[in-house]
Amino acid sequence: MIPELQLSPSRPGTLKDPSNHFVPTAAAQIYPTGNLQRLLRMLSGISKPHVLDLGRLSGSNIEWLIQKGFKVYVDDRITTLKPAPPSPPPSRTEKKKPAPAPLEPLEYDPALFDAVLCWDIFDYLVEKQAQDLIAGILKVLKPKGLLLAFFYCNRTTSPPPVRYRILQADQLEYKPLPQTLPRRIYENREIQELFGGFDTVNSCFLKNQMREVLVQRQQG
Amino acid sequence: MWNWNYEPEDRAAPQPRYPMEGNPPAKNNPESRREKMGQVAIIGQSIQIKGELTGNEDLTIDGTVEGTIELKENSLTVGPNGNIKADINAKKVTIIGEVQGNVTAEETVEIRETGKLRGNIVAPRLVIADGAFFKGSVEMERKPGLAKDKPHREEKPVSRPELLAVKP
């Protein structure tokens, strides 16, 4: 068997081969965001809102949010994500897939947070993990609390994981990371089902193939 | 045979083991010791400490500490092999290794790329490198208790020399 050659893309930031997740030379890109701005506006009436950031750790985001008057809690769920166990050799008797590694529960007081920033964490979770995380978020989020999530929607390409950096309320920097993580592509219906206990505030599809979803926890 | 003309070499007069009167011992002053030795205190990789750790000089911990760490006017560096399970209160905290506990700093908390912190941060300035791990809450405020600890310096009114009108 001939080993696959790992060729870097000819231009930084381009992905000729969809299977090539690793783009070490990709530069950070700046994209607009409407739902982060909307979230900030909706929380503007609350004194020192508590926000939980479940995305990749970004020191500048923490500082930015604190300057906006938030109390920030950080709980990076992607870095701590345990890889799925290797599949056992196929056998005739057992055809079940290995169970995904369970996520650590969200150990916070109930109804503590006014908002939860999930960024694109759901793209890297299997269905059961995503459901468990949503159940945990529903417990720690206040009624009418907000949740911001991103979903990558293009099945033909699979860009590398990124670190989101808030530049302004309506502008984000996407900094690609030299990592490979299998990304799950959601159907619209799956996103709706995932946020069953929430009302949709806004859901928009961006030119960079990302769907930004802002949802609000239902009262009671 | 015997060399009766043997003259013993001049031997240096034995130094008193303890400093004598008129030659007072150097004070146990960390600042002067640091200046002389040009280094900070280090808890090495093989050292394990359980309990309360306090001091008034900069400290680097590359070993294991469980309990509390108080260096209110000095810096603490948790080295790459450092493993701390303690609440930390220092002027400046730099984390390169692992810390589990709440960190309060009067100036800065810095988590380097390899640093890991599970605990809450209270500090007016926070620096977190990409790749670092942190789980907890952040309060970028000055801790009121720290301000109390510092003695207030009462400002005396400065007496200015009076200008006297001199008649020609």
Name the residue in chain A with its Cα closest to that of B135: A75
In chain A, which residues have their Cβ closer than 8 Å to the Cβ of B135? 74-76
B82: in domain: yes
A21: in domain: no
Query: Are the Cβ atoms of A59 and B133 closer than 8 angstroms?
Result: no
Say which residue, B32 or A182, is predicted with more confidence: A182
A171: in domain: yes
CATH number, residue A60: 3.40.50.150
Q: Which of residues 42-101 of B touch A (CB under 8 A)?
A: none
Count of alpha carbons within 13 angstroms of residue A212, beta-carbon side: 19
Q: pLDDT tens for residues B111-168? A: 999 999 999 999 999 999 988 999 999 998 755 544 343 433 333 333 444 444 444 4
A173: in domain: yes
At residue B129, the pLDDT reads: 92
Instruction: Quote the number of domains for chain A.
Output: 1
Instruction: Quote the number of domains for chain B.
Output: 1
B53: in domain: yes
At residue B162, the pLDDT reads: 40
A3 min Cα distance to partner chain B (Å) = 31
Beta-strand pair A210-217/A141-152: antiparallel
Distance CA A33, CA B98 (A): 35
Domain boundaries, position A156: 33-79+103-217
* Mutation for testing the A interface, residue in B117, B130, B139, B140 having most A CBs under 10 Å: B130
Q: Is A71 on the interface with B (CB under 8 A)?
A: yes
What's at A170, amino acid-wise?
D
* Mutation for testing the A interface, residue in B110, B135, B141 having most A CBs under 10 Å: B135
B91: in domain: yes
Evaluate if residue B100 carries a pLDDT over 90: yes
At residue B168, the pLDDT reads: 44
At residue A99, the pLDDT reads: 66
Query: If you compute the radius of gyration of chain A from its CA atoms, what whole number of angstroms results?
Result: 18
Domain boundaries, position B37: 33-146
At residue B106, the pLDDT reads: 95
B168: in domain: no
A97: in domain: no
From first to last of its 220 residues, chain A has per-residue pLDDT tens of: 444 434 344 333 333 333 333 344 468 889 999 999 999 999 999 999 999 999 999 999 999 999 999 999 999 988 777 655 555 565 555 556 666 678 888 999 999 999 999 999 999 999 999 999 999 999 999 999 999 999 998 888 888 889 999 999 999 999 998 877 888 999 989 999 999 989 999 999 988 899 999 999 998 7
> Whole-prediction pTM value?
0.75
At residue A97, the pLDDT reads: 60
At residue B18, the pLDDT reads: 46
Query: Are the Cβ atoms of B135 and A71 closer than 8 angstroms?
Result: no
At residue B149, the pLDDT reads: 39
* Mutation for testing the A interface, residue in B108, B114, B117, B138 having most A CBs under 10 Å: B138
Count of alpha carbons within 13 angstroms of residue B136, beta-carbon side: 20
B134: in domain: yes
Name the residue in chain A with its Cα closest to that of B132: A57
A166: in domain: yes
Query: Are the Cβ atoms of B126 and A62 closer than 8 angstroms?
Result: yes
At residue A91, the pLDDT reads: 59
Distance CA A108, CA A125 (A): 21
A30 contact partners, CB below 8 Å, separation of at least 6? A167, A171, A172, A173, A174
